[in-house]
Amino acid sequence: MALNGTLRPGLVQLRVLDFDKTLNFYKNILGLNEVCRIGEDRICLKGFDEFDHHSLTLRLADEAGLDFVAFKVASADELEKMKLAVEAFGYPVDTVAEGDQPGFGKRYGFTISTGHRFEIYSEVALAQKGPGIKNPDIWNEPPRGMRAQRMDHFLLYGPNIAEAERFCKEVFGMFVPEVCNTPDGNRLAAWITSSNKPHDLAFVEYPKPGKIHHLGFYLQDWADVGNAADWIALNRLKLDIGPTRHAITRGLSIYFWEPSGNRIEVYAGGYTAYPDNPQRVWDSSELGRGLFYYSGEVIPSFLEIVT
Amino acid sequence: MALNGTLRPGLVQLRVLDFDKTLNFYKNILGLNEVCRIGEDRICLKGFDEFDHHSLTLRLADEAGLDFVAFKVASADELEKMKLAVEAFGYPVDTVAEGDQPGFGKRYGFTISTGHRFEIYSEVALAQKGPGIKNPDIWNEPPRGMRAQRMDHFLLYGPNIAEAERFCKEVFGMFVPEVCNTPDGNRLAAWITSSNKPHDLAFVEYPKPGKIHHLGFYLQDWADVGNAADWIALNRLKLDIGPTRHAITRGLSIYFWEPSGNRIEVYAGGYTAYPDNPQRVWDSSELGRGLFYYSGEVIPSFLEIVT
Amino acid sequence: MALNGTLRPGLVQLRVLDFDKTLNFYKNILGLNEVCRIGEDRICLKGFDEFDHHSLTLRLADEAGLDFVAFKVASADELEKMKLAVEAFGYPVDTVAEGDQPGFGKRYGFTISTGHRFEIYSEVALAQKGPGIKNPDIWNEPPRGMRAQRMDHFLLYGPNIAEAERFCKEVFGMFVPEVCNTPDGNRLAAWITSSNKPHDLAFVEYPKPGKIHHLGFYLQDWADVGNAADWIALNRLKLDIGPTRHAITRGLSIYFWEPSGNRIEVYAGGYTAYPDNPQRVWDSSELGRGLFYYSGEVIPSFLEIVT
Amino acid sequence: MALNGTLRPGLVQLRVLDFDKTLNFYKNILGLNEVCRIGEDRICLKGFDEFDHHSLTLRLADEAGLDFVAFKVASADELEKMKLAVEAFGYPVDTVAEGDQPGFGKRYGFTISTGHRFEIYSEVALAQKGPGIKNPDIWNEPPRGMRAQRMDHFLLYGPNIAEAERFCKEVFGMFVPEVCNTPDGNRLAAWITSSNKPHDLAFVEYPKPGKIHHLGFYLQDWADVGNAADWIALNRLKLDIGPTRHAITRGLSIYFWEPSGNRIEVYAGGYTAYPDNPQRVWDSSELGRGLFYYSGEVIPSFLEIVT
C-alpha cells in the first residue's frame, strides 16, 4: 500500500483526577514510560514499542474523559492538503502551535459530527527511549506490568456516526472493515482503520456528544492478556469484562477502569485487514456475540458507562 | 494510509514432487484448504483466513522450488500504471491471460534482478470458503493441524538485491523496515513490506538466481507455534530450526521442510511497521542474533540450503 | 510420597438427556474418546491422556446430575482395608460386582454425609487407546476440539461437608490444601486432594443432598483455555463464566453447560500441592475473589445452579 | 496417595564462581529471592512459590558443579526409619547438624552408587516470604525475569544408575514413570518421581561419578518458556537448546548455562504421573526424539557437557 494519507492515531489526551494512583497505574501497572511534563497539569507517556515522542497525555481535571485524539499524517504536504479537505468537508479548523506538546509540530484541530475534537499533524520528534534500531534487541529493557506495547485505538460514543464514518473515509482515506446496523438499516457502530489493523478507531451511535468508551493498548498475545488480568486482580482494579474475545475484530481483550475512571482495554490479536476485503456486517441483534464472543451477551455496564 | 499501490503478496506457485505426501502436508498438517485443480499438474490452495480465490499453487515437477510470486494491486487502473512503471524501471513485461489460474484476472509478469519471476494483478474472485462476513464466527470451521491462517511472506535468494529492493520501493511503493549490511557497506539482506506487517517479502544476496529460501505462513501466536512444532514431530517432518524468535521482524518462528523439500516457515507475531519509523539496521556480524535471537548463532543449513 | 491409599478420582457416572447432541459434545467438542456402551442407556468415554479403561459414563435419564463418583485405590489389599475403614467410619458399604462397568473390577459403594454415592475400586483394565508407552509420541493422534486431557475433579454440593472432609482425610488419606469458612467459623467449602494436584474433589455446603456443581476436565494451559472458549462460542454452548482464573487452586478456567445441562469446567494450571504445606484459608466474604480472581465477584448462577 | 515417605527434592547446593554475575542471574533473571547468607561463601535462595525456608544454596568455589541434593521426608519418625533403610541398603550415613543451613533441621547424608551425595531431612522452617495463605493473591508480588516458580528437579550423571534407581524405589518409595535402555538391555537413563510430577530427579549412566547435567526450575507454561528465552537473549546467556519439547516427561523446556557454567533448565508442563500407570520405555536409538521431540536429534553438547 502506498505511504500517503493518515498513518495512525498518534496522540490522545485524557483527563484524570490525580497524578498519584492514576500515574502509578499507567506507569507501573499498564507499563508505559513517562516522557515529560507540561506545566503542573499534564504528563506525557508512551509505550515501549512506540518510536514517536509520546502518545498519551494525561491532564489533571475534575472528571475523567477525553480532550482530543490526534492522527499522524505522512508528510507536511499532505497535512496541508488534508486541512483543506477537512474544511471542504465542512468543519472549521484551528491551529495548535508547534511545541504545545513537547516534540510535536503544528497540529490542526476540528470537531467532528460526534462532538469529538480530532487533530492532525505530520511532525513529531523521535522518542529518546524508542525501540532500538542498530542491531536491536526486541526490547531495550523488559516491559513492566501488563507490558502494553503501544496506544492502539479508541472507541468513541456520540451522535451521527454515519457522518463521522464518511469523514474518516473521505478525508482521512481510511476504510471500514466492520460495521453494525440496526434493524431499520441505520449505523449503530463502525470499526475504521488506516492500516492492516482491524481498527484504529471505532464509533458507536450515542445521543451525548464527545464521549469515550475506552482507550485501547496493544499486547503481544493471549498470554499477555492473561498476565494483564492477573495485574488487574493483584491491584484490585475494577474489571468491566474479560478476558474475552471479540468476534468483531477477532481481538482478545480485557476492559477495566483505571483509577480516574477512564475505561481501558488491553487488546491482542485481531485479523489482518485489507481495504479490498469484503466488509463484515453485524445485525444489532447479534451484537452481543460480536462484542463478547464467548458469552454471546452484552453486559449492561459495557453499553451504558462512558466518560 | 491510502489504499492505492501494491496490497500484498497474493499468489505463489511452488514446484512439488508429488501430490500424495506433499498435498497431505499442505492440507492436513499445515491446514490449508484445497480450492481447485488446473489440469493434471497443478493444485490450488488457500488458508482459512484468506478472502481471495487461492494463494498457493503447487505444480508437479522434478525438483522443488519457486515458479513465481504475484502481488495484488489495488485497482485495474493502478495495475496498468504499475505495468508502465515496471517497463520504465527496465524490465520487459509479459501478459498472462485471465483464467490461467482459476479466479484470477490478467497478470503481468517480469523478471527482477535476483532472477525471480514477479507478477502483478488486480482482479481476483472471492473464495467460496472465505471468512464469514455476515455476523461472522471467528472461523467457519475449526482450523486443522498447524492452523495456518494465510500465506504471509517469502524470502528470496539471488544476485543484486540492492536493485530488487529499489524496485520494490520505487515501483511497488513498498518500504524497508529492516536491513542487514556487510562490513563494506553492501546490502546482505532486506525485509520489505507494503503494509503494517514487518515483511511481505525479503531478499538475501546470493550468487545463484531465482532461489527461494522459504515460504512463510501466518499463525495466531506463540501457542500455535508450539502446536505446529508438535505436528512436525508427530509427522516426522524434517526440522530446520525452531521454535525460536527472530530479533529481525521480532517474529516467532519454526522452519522445516515439507515432503517435496521446500522450506516452510510458520510464523506469528512481529512488530507493527510504519513507513515513517526509523529503519532497523543490522551488521552482518550480528546476523546470527538477528535471525535466531535465542541462540545468537546461524545454523549452516539455514544459510546454505535453498531451492 | 508413598504409593498407597487413594490414587485419584477414576470414574464418574453422569445423567444425560440424550445421546445425540450430548454425546457429540463430549466426543467432538470436549474431545473425549468413546470406549464402549453398556446396554442401551450407558456410554463410556475417556480422555486421550488417561491409561485406564474409561473415566466417564453417561447414563440416559430424565434429568441431568450425578449417579456416583469412584476412586481408584492402590491395591486390592488396600481396597479391602479401606472398605473396613469406611464401615468403621459409619457408612454401610455395598458391593458392585466386577464387570458392571466394562474393564472395572469389584467396586464398593457407600453414601457420604453430603448425600453423594462414593465408590472405591482397585482393579481396572488398561484402555486399548491409552497413551503410548514404547518410544511414545506425546499423543497417538492429535487431540480434538477442546483437547481435554483427562477427567480431573468435581465439585459436590450437599449438607455437612465438615464430615465429608473428615472422611476424605481419615479414610481416603487425602489432604485439604484450601478451605473457605463463614464468619462464624463454619466450613463453607473445602478443596481436597490425594496428590500434587490442588484438588481431586471439592465440597460446598448446601442444604440439598447429592448435587454436583461441575465436573472438571484438564487442559494443557491458558492457550487451551482460550481455544476451549472459541469452541464454546462456535457451538453456541451456554457459558457460565470465564475464561478466568481462580485464586483458589490458582487454576485457569471456563465453566459452561453441556447440552444436557451438566455444568462442565475446563481447567488448566493450578499450584503443586504438598501435604506439608500450610493450608490456605479463605473468609467467605472474600470468596468472590477466591473464585473469580479477575472480577472479584461471584456471579449468582455460579452459586445457585447445581444438578 | 498417602502422605508418608519422601515428599520432594527440597534443597540443592551448587558451586558457583562468583557472587556478582551469577547471583544477578539467579535473582534478577531467573527470578529467585535471596533468603539469607551463610558466612562469606554461601547464599540461600528460593522461588516465589515455595513455602520452605530456601531450596537452593550457592557456594563459592573454583569450579561449577553440585555439592549435594536433599530430600524432604514427611515426618521425623519416617526420617529415622529412612536412615535405617539407607544403612540397610548398604550406604554409610553421616549427620549434618541442625542449623548448618538456616531453617533446616538435622540432615542425614550418604553417597549413592552414582557418586552423588544425597541428604534427607524432615524439619524445615517456613519461609518468611512464602506464598500467601490467608485470602491469598496468586503472588505476593509479581514474579521477576523468567518467573521461575520453584526448584523442580535435577538430572544426575554417574556410574551404576541401575542401583541408584533401585535405591530411589526401595528406600525413597519413589516410582519410575519413564526409562531408556540400550540395545543390550541395560539402563541408560531413568526418570524418577515421588509424586504426580513426571520426574523429581533423573539419572543418566556415565563413567565419571557425581556429575550434574542440569538443575530444573518450574515455569507456568509455554508462554513463560518463551519469555525465559527472551531473557536469555537479552542477557546474552549461552543457550544449549530450546525452546523445545521433551517427548520424555512431555515437558516444555530450554537449557542454557548460568554465568558460572552450571546448566539450568526452565521447564513447564509435563504429564501427570501415577504409580499404577504403565512405565514408558525408550530405546536408546530413539533417545534423540525422546529428548528433543521437534528435531528428533540430540545435540552433542547436551550429552557431553556436565559439571
Residue D294 is nearest to which of B233, B252, B293, comparing CB atoms?
A: B233
Locus of grid cell 533446616: D104
The residue in chain B having the minimum alpha-carbon distance to the alpha carbon of residue C233 is B137
Partner-chain contact C234 B137, CB within 8 Å:
yes
**Residue ranges of the domains in chain D?**
6-121, 150-304
- Residue in A229, A247, A293 nearest the CB of C245: A229
pLDDT for the residue D7: 95
Whether C288 has its CB under 8 Å from any CB of chain D: the answer is no
Which grid coordinates belong to D307? 559439571
Residue of C nearest to B223 (CA): C223
Could you read off the pLDDT of D175-186 as tens digits, one per residue?
A: 999 999 999 999
Q: What is the mean pLDDT of residues B220-236?
A: 97
Amino acid at C5: G
Contact C278 D133 (CB under 8 A): yes
* Cβ–Cβ gap D234/A145 under 8 Å: no
Interface membership of B219 toward D (CB under 8 Å): no
Look at D245 and B223 and tell me if their CB atoms are within 8 Å: no
Give yes or no for a cis peptide into B300 (omega within 30° of 0): no
Nearest to D4 among C2, C195, C290 (CB): C2
- Cβ neighbourhood burial of B287 (10 Å; 0-12, 13-18, 19+): buried
For the annotated catalytic residues of C, the residue numbers are 153, 199, 214, 246, 255, 265
3-class DSSP state of C191 = strand
With CA atoms as reference, the chain D residue closest to B228 would be D294
Q: What pLDDT score was predicted for residue D301? A: 87
Q: Looking at the predicted structure, is the pLDDT value of residue B67 above 80?
A: yes
Among residues B26, B121, B255, B267, which one is catalytic? Answer: B255
B294 CA: distance to closest CA in chain D (Å): 5
pLDDT in tens, C61-102: 999 999 999 999 999 999 999 999 999 999 999 999 998 999
Closest-approach residue (CA) in chain B for D229: B294
Integer angstrom CA distances of residue C133 from C49, C55, D72, D280: 12, 20, 30, 4
Q: Is the pLDDT of residue C23 over 50?
A: yes
**Interface residue A213 vs chain C (CB under 8 A):** no
Confidence of residue C302 (pLDDT cuts 50, 70, 90): confident
Residues of D with catalytic roles? 153, 199, 214, 246, 255, 265
Name chain C contacts of A254, Cβ cutoff 8 Å: 294
Q: What DSSP letter does each residue of C272-286 carry, written as one string? A: ---TTSPPEEEEGGG
Task: Confirm if A240 and A299 have CB atoms less than 8 A apart.
Answer: yes
Nearest C-alpha of chain A: how many angstroms from B279? Answer: 7
Residue C110 phi, psi (nearest 5): -165, 165
**Span B27-48, pLDDT tens digits:** 999 999 999 999 999 999 999 9
pLDDT at B2: 46
User: Min CA distance, D124 vs chain A (Å)?
Assistant: 29
pTM of this prediction?
Answer: 0.97
pLDDT-based confidence at residue B1 (cuts at 50, 70, 90): very low
pLDDT 10s digits, A173-206: 999 999 999 999 999 999 999 989 999 999 999 9
Mean pLDDT across B267-288:
96
Query: Could you give the residue numbers annotated as active site of A?
Result: 153, 199, 214, 246, 255, 265
**What's the rounded Cα separation, in Å, for the pair B228 and B243?**
9
Is residue D1's pLDDT more than 50? no
CA distance C107 to C112: 16
Residue B35, pLDDT score: 98
Whole-Å CA distances, B220 to B7, B254, B271: 21, 13, 14
Are C100 and C47 in contact by the 8 Å Cβ rule? The answer is: no
- Judge whether A246 is closer than 8 Å to chain C, CB to CB: no
Distance from CA of A219 to the nearest CA of D (A): 13
- On the question of pLDDT at D4 being above 70, the answer is no
**Residues of C numbered 18-37 whose beta carbons fall under 8 angstroms of chain D's beta carbons: which are they?**
none
Calculate how close chain B gets to D241, using CA atoms only, in Å.
Answer: 8
- Quick count: other Cβ atoms within 10 Å of Cβ D154? 22
B24 CB-contact burial (10 Å; exposed 0-12 / middle 13-18 / buried 19+): middle
Res D299: pLDDT: 85
Q: Is D229 an 8 Å CB contact of chain B?
A: yes
| Coil, strand or helix at B172 | coil
What does the alpha-carbon distance between residue C265 and residue B10 come to, in Å, rounded to a whole number? Answer: 42
Between B and D, how many CB-CB pairs are < 8 A? 56
Alpha-carbon distance D235 to nearest alpha carbon in chain B (angstroms): 10
Whether B230 and chain C come into contact, CB under 8 Å, resolves to yes
Instruction: Based on the residue annotation, tell me whether B213 is a catalytic residue of this protein.
Output: no
Instruction: List CB contacts (< 8 A) between B142 and chain C.
Output: 145, 230-231, 234
At the topology level, CATH places domain B150-304 in 2,3-Dihydroxybiphenyl 1,2-Dioxygenase; domain 1 (3.10.180)
Find chain D residues with C-beta within 8 A of B302's C-beta: none
Q: What integer is the mean pLDDT of C162-188? A: 97
C-alpha distances (whole Å) from B58 to each of B19, B36, B52, B239, D283 are 9, 11, 17, 21, 39
Pick A295's closest partner by Cβ from C239, C252, C296.
Answer: C239
Question: Looking at chain C, which subunits does it touch, using at least 3 CB pairs closer than 8 Å as the criterion?
Answer: A, B, D
Distance in Å, alpha carbon of A61 to nearest chain C alpha carbon: 28
* CATH number for the segment(s) B6-121: 3.10.180.10
* Bridge partners for B151 per DSSP: B217
Res A91 pLDDT > 90: yes
Which of D134, D138, D283 lies at the smallest CB-CB distance from C281?
Answer: D134
Which residues, other chains included, contact A3 with Cβ-Cβ below 8 Å and sequence gap of 6+? Answer: A74, B1, B2, B173, B175, B275, B276
Tens of pLDDT, residue by residue over B163-178, are: 999 999 999 999 999 9
pLDDT digits (tens, 9 = 90+) for D33-92: 999 999 999 999 999 999 999 999 999 999 999 999 999 999 999 999 999 999 999 999
- Rounded to the nearest 5 percent, the helix, strand and coil shares of chain A are 20, 40, 45
Question: Cα–Cα distance between C237 and B67 in angstroms, integer?
Answer: 46
**Which of D139, D221, D233 is the closest to A234 by Cβ?**
D139
- Among candidate residues B214, B218, B258, B267, the one labeled active-site is B214
pLDDT of amino acid B4: 57
Least confident of A148-157, A170-179, B296-305: B296-305
Shortest CA distance from B239: residue in chain D = D295
User: Which chain B residues contact residue D243 at CB under 8 A?
Assistant: 226, 243-244, 294
Residue C4 pLDDT exceeds 70: no
Name the closest residue on chain B to residue C224, using Cα atoms: B223
Contact residues on chain A for B282, CB-CB shorter than 8 A: 135
* For range D23-37, the mean pLDDT: 98
Chain B residues in contact with C145 by the CB 8 A cut-off are 142
For residue A73, give how far its alpha carbon lies from the nearest alpha carbon of chain B (Å): 8
Residue A223 has pLDDT above 70, yes or no: yes
Chain C residues with beta carbon closer than 8 angstroms to that of B231: 142
- List the single residue in B with minimal CA-CA distance to A50: B277
Residues of A within 8 A of C226 (CB-CB) are 222, 243, 245, 252
From A232, A233, A261, A219, select the one nearest A22 (Cα to Cα).
Answer: A261
CB of A191 less than 8 A from some CB of D: no
